Amino acid sequence: MTVHVRRAEAEDRPTLMRLFTSVFGSPPASGEWEWKYDRNPSRAASVGAFEGDEAIGFFGGLATRFVGGGADLPGTSGVDVMTAPAARRLGRSGVYREMGQRFVEENRVLGIPFYFGFPNDRHRLAGERLLGFRTVERAGQWIRPVARPTLARRLRSRLRPVRVVDAFGPGHDVLTERLCARPGVRTDRSRTALAWRFGNRPGVRYLLLEASGGRESAGYAVLRFVGERALIVDLQAADEAGGAVVDL
């Protein structure tokens, strides 16, 4: 049967859920795809490979915006990239490559200049060979045990202008402007983007910390809790050499 590679639409969701389950052994968490693809305030294209009415491949676009240095462009990262087990022999040299090329074409029409991702080594090598991926750098990991703070540390922490917040307020807008004024581009850290990213994800717990600089935000950190681990998933400061990073 002929394989058709095209932009994935909302009505494809049932067959894509079956594909996800066949590839990963279980369906995605309830509400995860609706949050990721439907409620995202930014827009990007996702691509699927279909054999008849059944999906045999998917290349997801997690939309964002690329901002900084005077630029404000639509952007995306590649996520949920998969091919059905029965199609993988073809997928590496045929379906996978065609999906990747179509993904670029569809998102280029939307004005997206490039996309990025964090693949494991196997997918990175396949992407370099078949899709022209360019490796920027390896993602590192820092691990630090968290001990119960001493009384002196608890007293010092009360003097630091850091507080737990439910959402970032108007003072965050000035921080966003400062981040955008720096050279280079970065993903959107506006209040709208962060409210979606960290305030409405089903089944995921985040803790938002904000360092105050008077009426303006001096920086923020976001923690995600996974079992007994606390992961720092975002950390930004108006002055990276100042005290806000240490305080956070």
pLDDT digits (tens, 9 = 90+) for 12-53: 999 999 999 999 999 999 999 999 999 999 999 999 999 999
Q: Which two tokens stand for residue 106?
A: 């569809």
Q: How far apart are CA 75 and CA 44, in angstroms?
A: 7
Burial of 30 (0-12, 13-18, 19+ CB in 10 A): exposed
Burial of 95 (0-12, 13-18, 19+ CB in 10 A): buried
Please tell me the pTM assigned to this model.
Answer: 0.86
Find the farthest-apart pair of alpha carbons in the chain and give their distance in angstroms, rounded.
Answer: 70
Give the tens place of pLDDT for each residue, 182-238.
Answer: 888 899 999 999 999 999 899 998 999 998 877 889 899 999 998 888 899 999 998
Q: How far apart are CA 23 and CA 46, in angstroms?
A: 18
Q: Among positive and negative, which fits the CA dihedral 244, 183, 179, 181? A: positive
Query: What are the two backbone dihedrals, phi and then psi, of residue 50, each rounded to the nearest 5 degrees?
Result: -125, 135
Return the higher-pLDDT residue of 43 and 95. 43
